[in-house]
Structure 1
Amino acid sequence: MGHEVVLLLAGGLAVFAGAVVQGGVGFGLGLVASPLIAMLEPSVVPGAVHVVNATLPLFTLAAEWRRVDWRGLGFAVLGRVPGSVLGGIVVLYVGTGTLGVLVGLMVVVAVAMTARSIAVPRNGRTLAAAGFLSGVTGTATGIGGPPMALVYQTARGPQIRATLAAFFFLSAVQSLVILAVVGRLPGRTLAAGAALVPFVVLGFAVSGPLRRYLDGGRVRAGILTVAALSACALVAQSVAR
């Protein structure tokens, strides 16, 4: 079996699983897909992941766009812009491995603290900071969900999914533009991402039962679990580079 076919099938399975998780929790596609795709074909990461990251939110928004927290989204996007620029610089000049390890450990600490005490306050400063950190890690590694998800962990499921979907769509497009500007978005990367889109559609289509389960008072536990796994995946991916 050719390498391209292995990449499509194995990467597609990871994207499918990630789409199921993100369809229920609000984030997690990068967590599942990015590390495996990076191991199979490092040259298409993070660009291919950003292509699927820009696609899945459109389905969530089509179903729950009325639940978007527009004010919070504005603060997060405001912080995301300089974070994305810094992430682009990291891709060019700084080892993403070091960045991934540091951010991953920070997320683990944040999850441990919020699981034992009160949640992170949701205000302009925390949202802008989460957007900034998400911009750095998302642009450089394809995994940018945990900071935003931790800030929104006490919101209702539909609001979390809708707001994060709007944020992730804008973020992915922004990251793709920046990667193109710095010359790190070849046509092969875009083609690889486009080939994985059908798996995104299928994953979202079967995520309905998970959404209903989490909306029954389990969404915060789901977010903390996925955030912790995201951090571990980010550390593992970064050490492997």
Structure 2
Amino acid sequence: MEPVYRALVGFGLGLLSAPLVFLIDPELVLGPMILLALLNTVILSLKFKDKIDVSQTKLSLIGGTFGVFFAAIFIGLISIEQYQKIFGFLVLLAVSLSVLGIKPKVNYVSSLVASFVSGVMGTITSAGGAPMGLLYQSEEKSTVKANLSIFFVYLNAIAIIALLLAGKASTQDFIHFLQLAPAILIGICLSNFINNLINPKLMRILVLLVATISGMLLIT
């Protein structure tokens, strides 16, 4: 179901599945999940390519880059136990940002801050969509998906490079990615048929509930 939700709402991959996957096998989270997110955002970018306007996201690319490399360095300085608790906290932070309902004004400062936080959260947990989604929530849906998808293509690409440089990703991550990629592709195909059959509000509640429980389990 997760890949289906991902295609339906656009950026739910990390928030829903990453904490669950960590509880099952921590080795599948960092590299493989970011590569899966990269695949998904590439597909979304192709789908909405006609509405992509790089000029709207160029400032965010700067903040996101700093966030990614900050996170990659930070991960190298902490233990797996500390990482697990930080992972859980960031998942709960992403849930909180998703339900706050506030509407920040889009400007230079907010773009830099949101993209930096997205870079940090995306690299550590592969769930970096909440800050940018919160910032652009009032924009037209397809335009947001188009510009955020190309932003996250870039962010996920440099995140995996940063993790490789930090020694936190390996060829084994690419093998895991290849094993998991078919599920993403199948989910995207299924979403084309069931997109109008699922209540998005109910799905959102279920996703946030699962993410909250998973985040609390990671912390405790």
Interval containing the TM-score (normalised by the shorter chain): 0.7 to 0.9
C-alpha contact 2:19 2:211 (8 A) present in aligned 1: no
Indicate yes or no: 2:147 matched with 1:167: no
How far is the alpha carbon of 1:50 from its aligned partner?
0.9
CA RMSD of aligned residues (A): 2.8
CA deviations 1:102-138 (Å, max 9, x no partner) are 4344444444442xxx522222322221111111111
The answer (yes or no) to whether the contact 2:72–2:166 under 8 Å persists in 1 is yes
- Aligned partner of 2:63 in structure 1 is 79
Deviations 1:75-94 (A, max 9, x none): 22111111111111221113
Corresponding residue for residue 144 of structure 1: 128
Work out which of the residue numbers 111, 114, 119 in structure 1 matches 2:103: 119
Q: How does 1:1-241 map to 2 (within 5 A)?
A: 17-94=1-78, 95-114=82-101, 119-208=103-192, 225=205, 228-229=208-209, 232=212, 235-236=215-216, 238-239=218-219
Q: CA deviation at 1:54?
A: 0.9
Amino acid paired to 1:90: F
Structure 1, unaligned runs of 5 or more: 1-16
Q: Distance in 1 between matches of 2:196 and 2:135?
A: 22
- 1-structure distance, mates of 2:206, 2:63: 23
| Cα distance change, pair 165–100 in 1 and its aligned pair in 2 (3 A) | same
The one-character-per-residue Cα deviations of 1:41-91 (angstroms, maximum 9, x if unpaired) are 212321110111111112212221122242332122111111111111221
Count of paired positions: 217
State the SS of the aligned residue for 2:57.
helix
C-alpha contact 1:75 1:127 (8 A) present in aligned 2? yes
Q: Label 1:41 to 1:224 Cα distance change in 2 as closer, same or farther (>3 A).
A: closer
Residue segments in structure 2 that go unaligned for 5+ positions in a row? none
Q: Counterparts of 1:227 and 1:133 in 2: how far apart (Å)?
A: 21
* Equivalent-residue separation in structure 2 for 1:52 and 1:34 (angstroms): 11
Provide the rounded CA distance (Å) in 1 between the counterparts of 2:96 and 2:18. Answer: 22
Note the C-alpha offset of 1:36: 2.5
TM-score (norm 1): 0.77
**One-letter amino acid matched to 1:235:** G
Q: Give the Cα separation in 1 of the matches to 2:153 and 2:13.
A: 12
